[in-house]
């Protein structure tokens, strides 16, 4: 019996992934750019069990049903095919993201699962191969393999991995907005957008151009340009989503209030730019030196967490 444990952190995209070119291989329609965080780690242990007849999943201490385990089993099937194994596994995952926050737990979750499963099944994969593997579980997980800033490339199965990108000294202030209603998952929201949003083709072409500009801004350390790109890209993503049918809207009044406060901060001369994923939380990008100023300006509305660039996925134990 072989066991391995891995830790991974969530990431927040500055240029978003929203739409697939291939759902089976989980290939994105466009590339994306993100920062892996130093908060909210997920720790996952995979134990390969030659005697087990089915995979099991324990999440934050409670055993999950067959449906929840299905996505993990489908992912483990990819690992088993690579490893030439038919053995089932027990997966035990502890996620420190507060459940109301709904912060990209699939990114840290599948990055940690990819690392632990690869090690437990005896695969020796480099960062590129691990990123491609994590992508099969969840697209954004490909980026959580990488520390700090990462670009995840669109392309074929072989070409679609994330790799590190040099970046200036940045931080993110996470505003944890609890919408109170059950969100539509990224996967379902994306599918709905691709199938029904008339703006989707424009989103794809503009995001490809945006990514090139963002990579250049990042490499050149042009924080103002990168910030502007980040906020514009987030609003474009929410615009293409909001044009879907049936209607789909992730941002709430509180989310908009935070975007307003960030705009006022900029008017006061502080470099701060807002983004939001498929939920009501808003994440504010700023220079590391401005993180406290930004946090103070947002105080009083919702819980705030300051995050910095964090580590990539690490295998912390194997036996």
Pairing state between β 3-8 and 27-28: unpaired
**Which of 19/227 has CB closer to ligand DP6?**
19
**Which of 139/148 has CB closer to ligand DP6?**
139
x/- mask, ligand DP6, residues 20-49, rule CB under 6 A, reads ------x-----x-----------------
**Of the candidates 82, 67, 73, 68, which has an alpha carbon nearest to the alpha carbon of residue 55?**
73
**Which of 18/259 has CB closer to ligand DP6?**
18
Contact residue for ligand DP6 among 72, 215, 278, 291 (CB under 6 A): 278
Stretch that binds ligand DP6, among 36-44, 72-80, 137-145, 155-163 (CB under 6 A): 137-145
Stretch that binds ligand DP6, among 13-21, 161-169, 262-270, 296-304 (CB under 6 A): 13-21
Contact residue for ligand DP6 among 8, 57, 76, 104 (CB under 6 A): 104
**Which of 26/230 has CB closer to ligand DP6?**
26
In the bound complex, what is the minimum distance in angstroms from residue 175's beta carbon to ligand DP6?
16
Beta bridge partners of 20: 28
d(CA 169, CA 29): 29
**Of the candidates 66, 70, 88, which has an alpha carbon nearest to the alpha carbon of residue 79?**
88
Size of the site for ligand DP6 (CB under 6 A): 15
User: Between residue 63 and residue 102, which ones bind ligand DP6 under the rule CB under 6 A?
Assistant: none
Contact residue for ligand DP6 among 19, 31, 102, 139 (CB under 6 A): 139
**Of the candidates 12, 77, 84, 6, which has an alpha carbon nearest to the alpha carbon of residue 44?**
6
Q: In this structure, are residues 9 and 113 in contact, taking their beta carbons and an 8 Å threshold?
A: no
d(CA 198, CA 127): 37
d(CA 34, CA 229): 12
Q: In this structure, are residues 200 and 194 in contact, taking their beta carbons and an 8 Å threshold?
A: yes
Stretch that binds ligand DP6, among 77-85, 88-96, 124-132, 138-146 (CB under 6 A): 138-146
Residue 47: both structure tokens together? 């134990």
Work out whether 17 is an interface residue with ligand DP6 (CB under 6 A).
Answer: yes
Work out whether 16 is an interface residue with ligand DP6 (CB under 6 A).
Answer: yes
- Dihedral of CA 24/161/142/153: which sign? negative
Contact residue for ligand DP6 among 5, 43, 93, 186 (CB under 6 A): 186
Contact residue for ligand DP6 among 138, 144, 160, 197 (CB under 6 A): 138
How far is CA 165 from each of CA 149, 204, 214, rounded to the nearest angstrom?
A: 5, 22, 11
In a 13 Å sphere around the CA of 318, the CA atoms on its Cβ side amount to 13
Output DSSP code: residue 182: P
In the bound complex, what is the minimum distance in angstroms from residue 156's beta carbon to ligand DP6?
17
Chain residues that interact with ligand DP6, rule: CB under 6 A:
13, 16-18, 26, 32, 104, 106, 138-140, 186-187, 277-278
């Amino acid at each position: 019996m072989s066991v391995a444990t891995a830790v991974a952190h969530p990431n927040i995209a500055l240029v978003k992934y929203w739409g697939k070119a291939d759902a089976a291989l989980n290939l994105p329609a466009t590339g994306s750019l993100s920062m892996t965080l130093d908060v909210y780690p997920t720790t996952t242990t995979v134990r390969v069990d030659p005697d087990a007849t089915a995979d099991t999943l324990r999440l934050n201490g409670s055993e999950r049903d067959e449906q929840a385990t299905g996505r993990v089993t489908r992912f483990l099937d990819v690992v088993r095919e690579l490893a030439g194994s038919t053995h089932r596994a027990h997966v035990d995952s502890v996620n420190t993201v507060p459940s109301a926050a709904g912060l990209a737990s699939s990114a840290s979750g599948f990055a940690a699962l990819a690392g632990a499963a690869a090690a437990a099944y005896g695969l020796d994969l480099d960062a590129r191969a691990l990123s491609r593997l994590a992508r099969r579980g969840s697209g954004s997980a490909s980026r959580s393999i990488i520390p700090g800033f990462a670009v995840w490339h669109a392309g074929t199965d072989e070409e679609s991995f994330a790799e590190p990108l040099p970046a200036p000294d940045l931080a993110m202030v996470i505003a944890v907005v609890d919408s109170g209603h059950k969100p539509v998952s990224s996967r379902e929201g994306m599918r709905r957008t691709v199938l029904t949003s008339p703006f989707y083709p424009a989103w794809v072409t503009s995001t490809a151009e945006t990514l090139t500009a963002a990579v250049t801004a990042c490499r050149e350390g042009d924080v103002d340009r990168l910030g502007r790109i980040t906020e514009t890209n987030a609003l474009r993503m929410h615009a293409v989503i909001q044009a879907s049918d049936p209607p789909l809207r992730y941002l709430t009044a509180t989310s908009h209030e935070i975007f307003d406060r960030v705009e006022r901060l900029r008017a006061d001369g502080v470099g701060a730019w807002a983004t939001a994923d498929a939920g009501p939380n808003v994440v504010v990008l700023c220079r590391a030196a401005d993180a406290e100023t930004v946090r103070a300006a947002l105080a009083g509305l919702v819980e705030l967490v300051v995050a910095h660039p964090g580590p990539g996925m690490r295998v912390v134990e194997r036996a």
